[in-house]
Amino acid sequence: MHDYPGIILTALLILLFGLFSRLAERSPITGPMFFVGVGLLLGPLGLDLFNIKPGADVVKTVAEITLILILFVDATMIRSVHLGNVLAGLPARLLVLGLPLTMLLGIGVAKVLFPSMDLWLIVLVALILSPTDAALGLAVITSPKVPTKIREALSVESGLNDGIVLPLVIVCIAVLVEGSQVIDGSGRWTVFMAKQLTIGPLVGGLIGWGGGYLVDRAATAGWMKGAFQRLSALSLALLAFAGAELLQGNGFIAAFFAGLMLGVKTPAVRERIQEFGEAEGQLLSLFIFLIFGLVLVPIVADAWNAWTLFYALLSLTVIRMLPVAISLTGSGLNYYDVGFIGWFGPRGIASILYLLIAAGELGVVGYIDAYSIIVLTVLISTFAHGSSALVLTKHYKV
């Protein structure tokens, strides 16, 4: 049976927020904040007007497509002619040193605060809360006030850390399901990780460059209508994702590299692709945040306590900002820049998606405390990072 109330609610909210979306850009209220807030208000924790229980597979699929599109479009925005310098500069520091330190610090702090929790479950929580979400700090990524190198660093970091963390999440879930004997010393997990991190960029880069080149040639020759140029954003992103996954690579990394290597040189064509991807990606992400507030938060709210809140706050501050500060030592950035990059590590779509993957494999019984930590961290991040984006970017002058 169709969930007509849920469809009506989602459509109505998108229309209402859209009417004031330009005003919202000049305010501390973001789309994710509005949709999560409405979900909380109308759901079981608020007025209890809606009690929607969508299938986990449906929400997981929508979350996957959302993340794929966001990664693809974010990558197309990186237009530096010195691409190697972009990847090897600040992003390399954040990914090679900052990300592992964040994982390790997250595990250590969780072990202290939750001593009775299974170690592998602690590792899973720390991993799921490691990747950042540029969509929650969109005002930062798109603001011309913020220096280009900082915007690119945050964008590349959020584009690649999702895919780097996912293989580790999968390994961790496998251990929780089958026991530690799955890591048997045969090297199969090392091969798995290697495939994930090499096949993804190769497949994504080839599809992005080749597919973009074909779109560009067809468009400039007058063979391709503008509507289909826009639709190619979804096609190329999904082709990169599915192609990499089919070859046992990482689809999310592939989607990012497809956008990064997009072979479209004509500015008008590239802009059409970006506009469609941005619009559809934002639409899907708002739906995910609505479901997050309406369904996921009520499921775990009873499990929250002072220690859950303490860890969530540490996850968004010390556990993120200290590794960033260490990784950026000697980079030439001033204290504000380092603090700015450290603070804008919001947790969003990727953490929600990985939580859904974990719940699908592990179930809910016995894991609700761990899930509650993830959900509370994302909930606080949605409002804290969304409301602070405009305020903190004002420090920079155009």
Task: List the single range of 139-148, 205-214, 378-387 with lowest mean pLDDT.
Answer: 139-148
Give mean pLDDT, residues 85-95. 79
- Looking at residue 285, what is its pLDDT? 86
Mean pLDDT of the chain: 87
pLDDT tier for residue 81 given thresholds of 50, 70 and 90 = very low
Residue 396 is classified by DSSP as S
Contact 339, 396 (CB under 8 A): no
Rounded alpha-carbon distances, angstroms, from residue 342 to 154, 311, 319, 345: 10, 17, 10, 6
Dump the DSSP string for 169-207: HHHHHHHHHH-GGG--SSSHHHHHHHHHHHHHHHHHHHH
- Looking at residue 3, what is its pLDDT? 62
User: What percent of the chain has pLDDT above 70?
Assistant: 92
- 207 or 190, higher pLDDT: 207
Does the pLDDT value for residue 221 go beyond 80?
yes
- Looking at residue 115, what is its pLDDT? 95
Provide the angle, in degrees to the nearest 10, between the axes of the packed helices 335-343 and 318-327. Answer: 140
- Looking at residue 127, what is its pLDDT? 96
Q: Model confidence over 259-285: pLDDT tens digits? A: 989 988 888 898 888 888 878 888 888
- Looking at residue 99, what is its pLDDT? 96
- Looking at residue 23, what is its pLDDT? 78
Does the pLDDT value for residue 398 go beyond 60?
no
pTM: 0.87
Structure tokens at 173: 């879930």
Q: What angle do CA 200, 126, 38 make, to 5 degrees?
A: 90
Does the pLDDT value for residue 85 go beyond 70?
no
Q: Model confidence over 101-115: pLDDT tens digits? A: 999 999 999 999 999
Give mean pLDDT, residues 189-215. 90
Q: How far apart are CA 279 and CA 297, in angstroms?
A: 26
Residue 96 is classified by DSSP as I
- Looking at residue 156, what is its pLDDT? 84
Give mean pLDDT, residues 27-36. 87
Q: Model confidence over 101-151: pLDDT tens digits? A: 999 999 999 999 999 999 999 999 999 999 998 777 677 877 888 888 898
Q: How far apart are CA 276 and CA 341, in angstroms?
A: 28
Does the pLDDT value for residue 183 go beyond 70?
no
215 Cβ contact list (under 8 Å, min separation 6): 224, 229, 232, 236, 264, 269, 273
